[in-house]
Each structure stands twice: as structure tokens, then as C-alpha cells.
Structure 1
Amino acid sequence: MTSNFRDVPSEAEKTALAWAHSARFLTTASRLDQLPQMELPEIAFVGRSNAGKSTAINTLAQQRRLAFASRTPGRTQHINLFEVGPKDAPDALFADLPGYGYAAVERSAKLRWQEVMAQYLELRRALHGVVLMIDSRLGFTDLDRKLLALIAPRLANGEVRLLAVLTKCDKLNRREADAALAGAQQVLAEVATENSEIGVAPFSALSKRGVGDVAATLHGWTRQPPPNPA
């Protein structure tokens, strides 16, 4: 599992960041059958509504409002797709999925979003990787573990990769950060198999810690086929 970070971006990180900065909105959909059927590898961003998912996407893309980061969690109600790579020849898609776990959202809406998310994560053939946003101060919640269980079959056969991003790590001291990382690695070890590719990465949109390494990981995913495509 990946967790090493450098203060100075490597050449690979610089290349990956330039690639991520090219992200631009493509389309939005409330149902799986509304998404375009494309051959490009897709990377899905998922997480609790207050885990900093949209902020992380905006930080990676170096754009303030590419993904809608609201002060009111639960506002993202659709799957939003973003093209990445050259404008005339995009080579990947970012998929921003609805956040989960926000209590104030109407129950019927939550159930609908959860169903759409589950269908996407279980059935979307173009899905190459999942970026799971975890608030580093809270660690894996029951809902996060349920999401892990949902994608575990695709992780186990190497069909999909996973990167757990520990957001808001700037709010932790060194001891707390080490404990958060160790705790995440322990949870991820429960779903790791011989064929799975699973990583964990501390991340801060404020201090920019981990931004280069996360970009490099995602860029690398799109440069090779899934280890064991379905």
C-alpha cells in the first residue's frame, strides 16, 4: 500500500499534476443509463458528504469550482463526469459520485442516490479505479466499510484499483496522523487479496500534502489496463 510522500514533486508528479489540471466538465447524470458509453478509463471519487471529496477534486485539478464544493453537505445529487487529458483526445474520465451519510437529506433521495452509486460501482465496465475519501480525524465509518464491502469483489479479482485518501490531515498532529494511517491500513488489509491493488494516502487541500502523489497514482492507473480486466 502506498503512503510515502515527498516535499518536492518528482518529475512523474509534475507530469501527473499537469494532466489533472486539464480536467473539464463533460456531463451529469442521475441514472446509470444516462452516462455515455466510452472506452476511456474512469476513476470514481466517493466518500461521506463531509469528507472533502469535491474539495479534493478541485485541488487535484487546480480549479476552484470544477466539482461543486458546498457548505451544505449532500448537495451533489448526480454522477458528474469530467474529461482529463488533451482537449482533442481525452484519455481518462473523473467521476464525482454523490456523497453519502448526510442525515438531513430526505430518506427517499438518499436511497435513490445509494442505488445509483451501487449500480455504478458494481456494473460500470469502464471503471478502473476508486478514490475513497476518508476524513482522517474520523477514520473509516460504518458507511465507509459498507462501501468497501460493495466493491470488494471487483478489488479481489483485480478488476478495479482502490486508493483511500485521508483528507484534512493538516488538522492532525504527527502522532494522530500516524495513528490515522495505521488504522486505515488495518481496515484496507481486511479486503486486500493477492490480485488487489490498494493504496492509502494522507492528503490536505490546505497544505497541499499528498496532492502530487495522489495525482501520480491516478495518472498511473490510466496508463495501464486493469490488472485482471473482467
Structure 2
Amino acid sequence: METSDTEQQRRREMLVQQLRANFGDIGRSTLRAIFDNVGWVELGAGDVLMEQGQPGDTAYLSLSGRLRVYVKNPDGTSRMVRELGRGEITGEISLYTGAPRSATVVAIRDTLLARIDKPHFDALVARNPQVSLALTNKIIQRLRTQNVRQPLPAPVMVTVLPITNGLDAAELAQRLTDMLGRYGNACCVTADSMAARMAQPGLSAADASQGERLSAALDELEAE
């Protein structure tokens, strides 16, 4: 899908922010080279980014959205091992080893990722050795915990839908939020509240052009 110049600029700003958060200072010439060679991947909820066992020679940096990572058990069943949010990297091991994908990664809401392939990654590392060091540290930390069974994360989103005439869903959602707030952070999210947060009056969930901005706004909300 083609994107406007404004949208391309917004994506580049998001990419720079996450690159520097992961790898430290990166020079302008290197950033220009990345911009020239990076690809954008847009996923909807339920879309598969990669499947365990597939060949792999690309890595992905999440700019917005959320993904779940699954690995196969010896009996053929799958288990979720972690979730990935904004700023996290997946697929990086294949850049070093060329080995097949070690897990299946699925988007659980609209997600935007930056994609880089091995030749361009090798060029990036040649210019910035700290990138390789930072990635190696991430891989080591991941390998240390990959065989540890992790409990499923607590739900981060509950949807309230009225099925009875006359029920005020917004009031019920707020009451539920107040109750959950006694045990931890809780926030009631409505179309109106997100429209105000995004300074986008009349925001519609059916407006696909707002998907990336909405996903990014949800990322920020979860991080608070």
C-alpha cells in the first residue's frame, strides 16, 4: 500500500527513535542508508509474520502494535513464550546464522514493522559495530530464557459489548475500570477518549487509514 510523504516521514521518525533506543547514536549517513533500504511491513490482528522452520534472512523492528511468539513442543502443540511490543526486534538470529526461523510470530493487533535483510544488515554493522554488540547481547538474553516456561500474561484489554437493550456500556466499562484500579493500573478506553488523545475528532474504527496512528496511541497508553 502506498503511503503519503507525511506518513513516510512519520514512519522514519518512529524508526530513528527505536534504532537509537536499541543501538545508541547512529550517524546521519548511516540513517540515510537505512532509509534507502528498509522495508515496511503492515500486519493486521491474526496475520503471521513468520513461521517456525521457514528459511529466514531478514529481521524486523516493531514500530507500533503487538505480536506474540510461539514455539512448537515435542508433541506438536504450540506454546506462547513471549509478547513483543514497540521497539522490540525479532528474526535477528537468522542474520547471523542463516538458520530457519526458531519460532512463529503472530500480530495480535494492527502492527507496523521495519524490515532489513542480511546484505543491508551487514553493511550497517560494518559502519556501526555497536549494532552487532547490542544485538548479540539481546540474543544471549533471549537464549537464556527461551526454554523457561513463562506464564500467560495478564489480560491487558477487556472489551465491553452490550447485548441487552438499555444497558449503558460506557458506564459499565467505567465501573469495571474503577474496580480493576484497586488491584493495579486500569484505564477505560473509548472511541471518544482515543479521538481526544490523538487530536482526531470523529475517529472511526472503520477508517483503515487511522490504523497505524491508533496502534501507536495504544502503545503509548500501555507504556504509561
**Smaller-chain TM-score bracket:** under 0.3
Task: Name the TM-score, length of structure 2 as normaliser.
Answer: 0.25
The structure where helix makes up a greater share of residues is 2
- Give TM-score, length-normalised by structure 1: 0.24
Q: Bigger relative contact order, structure 1 or 2, given CA contacts below 8 A and separation 6+?
A: 1
